[in-house]
Structure 1
Amino acid sequence: MQYQATTAAPSWRTTTTTNRCYYNYMPQYHPTVAVIDPLERVAKLASQSAVVIFSLSSCCMCYAVKSLFSGMGVNPTVYELDEDPIRGREIERALVRLMGGATTVPVVFIGGKLVGSMDRVMASHINGTLVPLLKEAGALWL
C-alpha cells in the first residue's frame, strides 16, 4: 500500500462560473472561528435570566422542579438539553463537571449562581431560603 503526501487545502474554495459563485465548505480548523468552552456557555446562559433550569423533557425530576417554580409564580428559563442533540450533550457534559460527577439534571441557577439539582432546590424550599433567594434575584415580587 502506497501513501501519498497531501497538501493542505484551503478551508473555503470558490468556483466562479457565469456570474455564480459556489462555496464548498471543507471543515478544518480556521483561526477566526472561536470555539466556546461549554462551561462558559453554561455560565453565559445561566446569567441571562433570574432563574435558569437545565432539563430533559422526559425527566420526572425536571418536571417536578419546573412545577415547583411555576406554582410559586416564577417563570424560569428552561433549556431542554435533549431538544438540541449536539449542544445539549456538550452542555450536559459541562454540567456533570460542574456538579462534580453527580446526576446532571435538573440543574438550577438562580441569579446566575448555581443552586444545584433537585435535592438542593427542595432543601432550600423546605428550610425557607429559596423564596429570599428568588426575591434577591428578581424572580419573585411577593
Structure 2
Amino acid sequence: MFSPAYRMFTVSATSSPSMKLVESAISQNQITVFSKTTCPFCTATKRLFSDKFPDVPVKILELDLLEEGPAIQSYLAQKTGQRTVPNVFVNSQHIGGNDTTQAAYHNGKLSTMLKT
C-alpha cells in the first residue's frame, strides 16, 4: 500500500497539465461547464445558461472531444467529489451538476451569483 504522500505526488505529477487547464478555466471564466456532447443533462445545463443568462459568457469544455478529457474528469472528481458531468462552476465556486444548477436557478442563487 502506498502512503498518502506518494499518491498525492503521483496523481499531481500525472495530472498536472489537466489540473492546470481545469484551474485556469475555472479562474478565468465567470461560468465554466465541464460537459460531454452526448449527455442530455449537459445539454439542459448549457441551455439554461444560454436561455436565461444570454449576456454572460460561458466557457464550455466538452470532455469527450478533448484528448485529455478523461484526465480532466478524474481531476474534477478529486477536486469536487463529483464524478459526473455536467460539472459547473460559477465565479470559481463549484455549483454541482444539472440538478443543483437548475435548483440554483429556480431559487435565485444563480441570478445572485451572476448579479443579473
- Normalized against structure 1, the TM-score is what? 0.64
Counterpart of 1:96 (choices 65, 77, 83) is 77
Q: Which residue of 2 aligns with 1:113?
A: 93
* Alpha carbons 2:63, 2:73 under 8 Å: kept: yes
> Which of the numbers 49, 68, 76 marks the counterpart of 2:58?
76
1:66 is aligned to 2:42: no
Write the deviation string for residues 34-91 of structure 1: whole angstroms up to 9, x where unpaired: x725334312211111111000000000000000000011331100001113x11100
Distance 2:57 2:17 in 1: 27
Q: Which segment drifts farther, 89-98 or 51-60?
A: 89-98
**Paired positions, count:** 100
> Which residues in structure 2 correspond to 1:113-132 (within 5 Å)?
113-132=93-112
CA distance in structure 1 between the partners assigned to 2:57 and 2:34 by the alignment = 14
Return the index of the structure with the highest Cα Rg: 1
The CA distance in 1 between the partners of 2:43 and 2:94, in whole Å, is 19
Task: Structure 2: give runs of 5+ residues left out of the alignment.
Answer: 1-14
Q: Supply the AA of the counterpart residue of 1:80.
A: E
The structure, 1 or 2, with the larger RCO (C-alpha pairs under 8 Å, 6+ apart) is 2
Unaligned segments of structure 1, at least 5 residues: 1-34, 136-141
The 8 Å contact of residues 29 and 91 in structure 2, kept in 1 or not, is answered as yes
The CA RMSD over aligned residues, in Å, is 1.7
- Measured against aligned partners, the alpha-carbon deviations of 1:78-116 in whole angstroms (never above 9, x if no partner) come to 00001113x11100111122232x442001111122111
Query: Which has the larger share of strand?
Result: 1
1:21-60 correspondence runs (5 A): 36=16, 38-60=18-40
Answer yes or no: is the 8 Å Cα contact 2:80–2:94 preserved in 1: no
Percent of counterpart pairs with the same letter? 33
- The ranges of structure 1 where at least 4 consecutive aligned residues each deviate by more than 6 angstroms after the TM superposition are none
Amino acid aligned to 2:58: P
Which has the larger helix fraction? 2
